[in-house]
Amino acid sequence: MQALQKIYSRFIPIPMENIDTDQIIPARFLKATTRDGFGRNLFRDWRYENNDDTKPKEDFVLNQPQFSGEILVAGKNFGCGSSREHAAWALLDYGFKAVVSSFFADIFKNNALNNGVLPVTVSDEFLAKLFTLGNANTLSIDVEKQTITIDATGEQEVFDINSYKKTCLLNGYDDIDYLINHRAQIEAYETQNI
């Protein structure tokens, strides 16, 4: 996993609630056996007319060149539905390093963190504010300080992340390393309990 300390970027807004992982990456694109290349089909059915990737839907934000950036800002309950980690891979592969919302579905949140995509939970008011900003605005996210800032106005919120996950993100560690290092303890547990 890539370490993630700070993000300074413009953002792409999708002011819609309950964006489920079937929208982020439809099931028919889950047939790959590697983690690569899912960005191409990110939001596939919102992005293209009749499943034809030569026909972008002009009203969808990813097809509007005035919007760009490494941060996705979306309505509440982002990532609900299927546990497919392909959703996190698709966001990462497309170039997103963080998703900002006022509420995330549990499994998505874990999947994102496990891939170095930072879910930033902000208040409903802060989120609403972001949706009113023009496309030239930038945001700064600081993992160490746990802050997200609207650069133009200095408005800032502190977001939550447990200290274990924060250490992992800042250093690019992953949970598997941690678990492998604790195998002796796991074996001891097995002897006692099974």
Instruction: Between 56 and 81, name the residue whose CB sits nearer to another protein.
Output: 81
> Counting beta carbons within 10 angstroms of the beta carbon of residue 165, is it exposed (0 to 12), middle (13 to 18) or buried (19 or more)?
middle
Among 8, 26, 95, 138, binds another protein (CB under 8 A): 26
Applying CB under 8 A, which of residues 5, 6, 32, 171 lies at the interface with another protein? 32
Compute the distance between CA of residue 184 and CA of residue 179 in angstroms, rounded to an integer. 10
22 backbone dihedrals φ, ψ, rounded to 5°: -70, -30
The whole-angstrom separation of Cα 62 and Cα 45 is: 12
- Pattern 39-78, binding to another protein, x per CB under 8 A? ------x----xx-----------------------xxx-
In degrees, to the nearest 5, what angle opens at C-alpha 118 toward C-alphas 158 and 2? 130
At closest approach, how far in Å is the CB of 176 from another protein?
Answer: 5
Nearer Cβ to another protein (152/176): 176
Residue 85 touching another protein (CB under 8 A): yes
Compute φ and ψ for 14, nearest 5 degrees: -125, 95
- The DSSP-derived string for 149-176 is EETTT--EEE----HHHHHHHHHT--HH
Binding positions for another protein, rule: CB under 8 A: 15-18, 20, 22-23, 26-28, 30-35, 45, 50-51, 75-77, 80-86, 88, 103, 105-107, 110-111, 114-115, 162-165, 174-176, 178-180, 182-183, 185-186, 189-190, 193
